[in-house]
Amino acid sequence: MNSKTDRLAARLRHTRIARATLCIASTALFACAASATMITGTLDTSAAFSATNQSTDGTTYYNAPYTGVLPAAAVAVGGFDFTVPSGFEVSSATISGNFGSNALGSGTAAVDLFVNAIQVATCDSGCAAATQSADVAWSFTFTPAELGAFAGNSAVLSAVQEDVSQIVLDPTTVSLTLTAVPEPASLPMTLLALPLVALGLRRARSRRA
């Protein structure tokens, strides 16, 4: 009877140790996810960022009518400056807006949009025709490999006009997710804990069998 009781007690101890180790490892692994924060704002299209913008509200954009060589040279539409707190990094980013502008009462010419040299949207001739009656929404989510575009704490939207007439854009929104960078000292401890978790759970299962 005593030996059976001792075996049950030992199994319980091993199970509790494995669960406790798993809890510690999980806390270390997922602490960064719990520390995520957001930065969201509207692109600044004022003269500080765009010398070609004819709009004066600081959020919409339209240039002077263009009839020159196509595609036209790239022009700056606007910029978005932000600050990443110490110990954080940009882990995801999305930019979105509308081709054409109901607010300005105008459609747009065909145009390609770029953020720090990464193409984020295209409005072809069919899209441009559609904007004459209503805005056409666009959105782009950056891949992890493209997040380096935000390394300078600034995002600049530029446009290349592909047709005559003028570029017309409603306000553009930028959304960034920031997550805490794991502390160098905590990562090795977490990695060392994972094999112990697996070993403890395996022993507990073998004893129950």
What confidence score (pLDDT) does residue 32 get? 45
Q: How far apart are CA 163 and CA 123, in angstroms?
A: 10
pLDDT the model gives residue 154: 93
Q: Are 179 and 88 in contact (CB under 8 A)?
A: yes
Res 24: pLDDT: 52
Order of all β-strands in the sheet with 118-123: 75-81, 154-161, 111-115, 118-123
pLDDT digits (tens, 9 = 90+) for 21-61: 555 555 544 444 457 899 999 999 999 999 999 999 999 99
What stretches in the chain show pLDDT beneath 50? 1, 28-33
In this structure, what DSSP letter does residue 86 have? T
User: Is the bond leading into 171 cis (omega within 30 degrees of zero)?
Assistant: no
Q: What residue type is assigned to position 122 of the chain?
A: T
The whole-model pTM stands at: 0.74
Q: What does the pLDDT read at residue 206?
A: 62
